[in-house]
């Protein structure tokens, strides 16, 4: 089961010549989920050769221009294509008004259904086959949500020697046991999957956190993330200005990852435009001191998310 993330843009506030605005695309078994879409999002989608048509749902963190101004272009792009399924858009209050006003003022002809759902309380917003995506509250100058994709646990590892010892013939019955089903043998005996499987293994988790102050509850929400994409907008020297603007520093993002427990990789995102490319190292160094498995995300960076075992 393939799961991977593509960073479409890593900048905060305004796009720069080599840094587009914050947006992450998650691909799970060919299905695409977009998190935010600032200016230029469709350029990265095109350069990565991803088919935006496969986007099932878009999740918007909050109604600031640097997170939503790419959406009208993406919807325009979509006006001509064949598409059977609706496109879902989730976000805080005003997302529906924003989409509707753009469609109307730009006379967008879109030949498929767009379903916009405003999130009014934290909890699951998308239930997929074997996974869900839920929203959790962040603290910013406007209502803002973080998101987490969580997969259900998988059946434990299959032990062929135990199946053989129980007299289960190799073949389709092994597959059934592997899938967690019980099987009946020719002699009438029933073998339960628990007799041949190890304990259930955890599914994967992806979390997306921007824009926000740092506060302890975020750690609880992102606990166990295989990949945590989190705002790291400023260096520690600018911590008080970060608080004032309701943003966080790279070191605070690392603190969240470290406190959460079980986070495998932290990808910093939403850099202040004050940092030129070479200055981003300051953010990385400060974060790595607290959480060594930190990386600086860059536009069009690809993160495969593998199973732990
Ligand atoms: Zn922002
Ligand atoms: Zn913002």
Give the start-to-end residue ranges of the domains of the chain.
Answer: 3-154+201-304, 160-195
End-to-end CA distance of the chain: 13
Catalytically annotated residues = 66
CA angle, 94 as apex, 88 and 97 as ends, to 5°?
A: 75
Ligand 2 center to 128 CA (angstroms): 28
Q: How far is CA 288 from the centre of its chain?
A: 22
Compute mean pLDDT per 10 residues along the chain, 309 residues long, and list them: 95 94 95 94 92 89 97 82 88 97 90 93 96 98 98 91 93 91 92 91 96 98 98 98 97 98 98 96 98 98 91
| pTM to 2 decimal places | 0.92
How far does residue 79's CA lie from ligand 1's centre (Å)?
27
Residue 247: per-residue pLDDT: 98
- Domain 3-154+201-304 class? alpha beta
- For position 110, what pLDDT does the model report? 84
Provide CB contacts within 8 A for 227, sequence distance 6+: 5, 206, 207, 264, 265, 267, 303, 305
Which ligand ends up closest to the CA of 269? Answer: 1
Is residue 148 within 8 Å of residue 207, measured between CB atoms?
yes
CB atoms within 10 A of CB 97: 12
* Ligand number nearest to the C-alpha of 246: 2
Question: What are the residues whose beta carbon lies below 5 Å from ligand 2 (ion)?
Answer: 64, 211
Query: What's the pLDDT at 100?
Result: 96
Residue 56 and residue 47 in contact, taking contact as beta carbons nearer than 8 Å: no
Nearest to 279 by CA among 237, 231, 235, 247: 235
144 CA → ligand 1 middle, Å: 10
Ligand nearest to the CA of 141: 2
């Amino acid at each position: 089961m393939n799961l991977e993330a593509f960073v479409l843009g890593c900048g905060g506030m305004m796009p720069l010549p080599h840094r587009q605005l914050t947006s992450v695309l998650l691909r799970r078994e060919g299905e695409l989920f977009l998190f935010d879409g600032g200016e230029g999002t469709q350029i990265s989608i095109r350069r990565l050769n991803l088919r935006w048509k496969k986007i099932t749902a878009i999740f918007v963190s909050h109604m600031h221009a640097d997170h939503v101004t790419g959406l009208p272009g993406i919807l325009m792009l979509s006006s001509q294509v064949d598409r059977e399924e609706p496109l879902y858009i989730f976000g805080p209050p005003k997302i529906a008004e924003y989409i509707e006003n753009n469609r109307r003022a730009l006379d967008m002809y879109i030949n498929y259904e767009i379903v916009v759902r405003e999130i009014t309380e934290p909890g699951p917003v998308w239930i997929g086959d074997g996974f869900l995506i839920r929203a959790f509250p962040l603290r910013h100058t406007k209502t803002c949500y973080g998101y987490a994709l969580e997969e259900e646990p998988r059946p434990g590892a299959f032990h062929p020697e135990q199946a053989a010892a129980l007299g289960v013939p190799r073949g389709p019955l092994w597959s059934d046991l592997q899938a967690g089903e019980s099987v009946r043998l020719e002699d009438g005996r029933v073998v339960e999957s628990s007799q041949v499987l190890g304990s259930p293994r955890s599914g994967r988790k992806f979390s997306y956190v921007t824009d926000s102050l740092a506060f302890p509850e975020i750690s609880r929400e992102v606990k166990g993330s295989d990949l945590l994409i989190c705002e790291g907008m400023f260096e520690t020297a600018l911590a008080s200005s970060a608080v004032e603007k309701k943003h966080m520093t790279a070191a605070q993002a690392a603190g969240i990852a470290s406190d959460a427990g079980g986070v495998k990789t932290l990808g910093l995102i939403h850099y202040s435009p004050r940092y030129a490319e070479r200055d981003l190292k300051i953010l990385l160094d400060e974060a790595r001191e607290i959480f060594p498995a930190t990386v600086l995300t860059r536009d069009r960076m690809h993160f495969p998310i593998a199973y732990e075992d």
